């Protein structure tokens, strides 16, 4: 029996390619997104909830199967009984290990659920912002966006989960959604023990509030401030050493980084965001002063600039092994800010070109998976070749 490799990439032999199955699931997502839009337009909310439920179920199945052959999922499935040793600063995962082992395909199922939570956030926000018909399309835009390739296609599940837990804080601080303080900080606290990048992602989440000069933290009750301070002190004392160790490790060696953030699909997506933004500004006669006075506009500009900094770091190899890890978090915050901005100015249809481009790129990858060589180069869309109870871990 071959030894499990000690370094990435990790390979498994229980995979196959099945473009037609994955295309069928994707077409089902498209049809269900249409049903969400149709039922909302006719105010049939019971049908809307059914379509949303089926959409989420289909999304879970799609990403569970398609992430099975990815390196991170393979590694975590193999080391599931040793997570306390291998992830000492991420207790969420080794506490959840018994539950993960009971799920079909283990970490692949977790990744399917995480992808579904991304979609659920988009659907939830569309309903909160009085646009329930757009929920399915916004969800598909997130799921297929080149901005989130690392999280959704490379199955960086742990960091993606931590980012999901940071989203409530981002929405509250940005003023996009009024969420109670207790859930916001409880979610942020859980994020700190889910991935080592949670602390910098929390810093990213509160940046719109800092830039806007809001008194978000000043208005908090004294006991909440005390609790937040205690949490930060505890988190820093526990996580400071492993975070510093990891940072120095990344800074001292450039053995791996992803260049997805500067690929053509991302650059085109940026253009398809910029052009509708400028067109809406012209149509609404929004001056630079008006944009500076709008907190949503400032959030869009902030994360656009930060994403460009990440791209520059990757392009000119300025600590790219660190910079590329923030492309997906900044990309998510940028897309959520864009959703809010176009909804605010009643220009959500301006996102259709970006949606169409993302869907076309996604469908091409499914129908004609160039370079997909399962068993030799296991990657996204290499699905299991047997039922869950037949898998050998």
Kindly list the domain boundaries of the chain, sorted by start residue: 15-387
Which ranges constitute the DSSP H helices of 176-294?
181-192, 198-212, 222-252, 264-283, 288-293
The span from the CA of 170 to the CA of 207, in Å, is 9
Q: Is 379 helix (H, G, I), strand (E, B) or coil?
A: coil
Contact partners, residue 102, CB within 8 Å, separation at least 6:
none
The span from the CA of 137 to the CA of 115, in Å, is 15
For 248, other C-beta atoms within 10 Å of its C-beta total: 10
Per-residue pLDDT of the chain (393 residues; tens, 9 = 90+): 456 666 666 777 899 999 999 999 999 999 999 999 999 999 999 999 999 999 999 999 999 999 999 988 999 998 898 888 888 889 999 999 999 999 999 999 999 999 999 999 999 999 999 999 999 999 999 999 999 998 999 889 999 999 999 999 999 988 899 888 888 888 988 998 899 888 889 889 988 877 555 545 555 566 555 666 666 666 666 666 666 666 666 666 666 678 888 999 999 999 999 999 999 999 999 888 888 889 999 999 999 999 999 999 999 888 888 888 899 999 999 999 999 999 999 999 999 999 999 999 999 888 877 767 887 777 899 999 999 999 887
The span from the CA of 135 to the CA of 119, in Å, is 8
Q: Quote the pLDDT of residue 323.
A: 87
Residue that has been written with the tokens 């049908």 in this structure = 47
For the chain, the first-to-last Cα distance in angstroms comes to 13
Q: Quote the pLDDT of residue 259.
A: 84
Nearest to 93 by CA among 161, 33, 40, 44: 161
Q: Is 214 helix (H, G, I), strand (E, B) or coil?
A: coil
pTM: 0.91
């Amino acid at each position: 029996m071959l030894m499990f490799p000690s370094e990435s990439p990790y390979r498994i032999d229980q995979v196959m390619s099945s473009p037609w199955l994955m295309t069928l699931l994707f077409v089902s997502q498209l049809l269900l997104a249409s049903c969400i839009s149709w039922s909302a337009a006719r105010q049939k909310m019971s049908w809307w909830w059914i379509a949303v439920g089926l959409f989420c179920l289909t999304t879970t199945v799609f990403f569970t199967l398609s992430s099975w052959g990815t390196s991170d999922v393979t590694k975590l499935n193999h080391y599931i009984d040793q997570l306390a040793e291998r992830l000492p600063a991420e207790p969420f995962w080794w506490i959840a290990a018994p539950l993960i082992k009971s799920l079909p395909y283990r970490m692949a199922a977790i990744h399917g659920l995480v992808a579904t939570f991304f979609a659920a956030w988009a659907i939830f926000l569309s309903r909160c912002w009085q646009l329930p018909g757009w929920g399915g399309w916004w969800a598909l835009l997130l799921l297929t966006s080149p901005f989130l390739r690392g999280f959704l296609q490379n199955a960086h599940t742990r960091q993606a989960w931590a980012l999901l837990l940071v989203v409530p804080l981002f929405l509250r601080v940005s003023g996009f959604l009024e969420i109670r303080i207790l859930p916001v900080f409880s979610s942020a606290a859980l994020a700190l023990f889910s991935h080592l990048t949670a602390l910098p992602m929390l810093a990213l989440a509160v940046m719109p509030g800092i830039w806007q000069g809001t008194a978000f933290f000043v208005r908090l009750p004294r006991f909440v401030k005390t609790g937040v301070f205690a949490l930060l002190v505890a988190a820093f004392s526990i996580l400071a050493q492993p975070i510093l160790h990891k940072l120095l490790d990344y800074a001292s060696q450039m053995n791996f980084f992803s260049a997805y953030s500067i690929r053509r699909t991302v650059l085109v997506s940026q253009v398809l965001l910029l052009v509708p933004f400028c067109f809406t500004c012209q149509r609404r006669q929004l001056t630079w002063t008006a944009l500076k006075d709008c907190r949503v506009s400032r959030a869009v500009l902030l994360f656009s600039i930060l994403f460009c900094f990440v791209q520059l770091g990757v392009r000119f190899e300025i600590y790219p092994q660190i910079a590329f890890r923030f492309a997906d978090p900044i990309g998510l915050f940028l897309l959520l800010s864009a959703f809010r901005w176009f909804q605010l100015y009643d220009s959500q249809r301006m996102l259709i070109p970006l949606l169409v481009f993302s869907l076309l790129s996604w469908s091409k990858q499914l129908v004609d998976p160039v370079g997909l060589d399962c068993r030799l180069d296991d990657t996204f869309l290499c699905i299991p070749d047997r039922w869950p109870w037949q898998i050998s871990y």
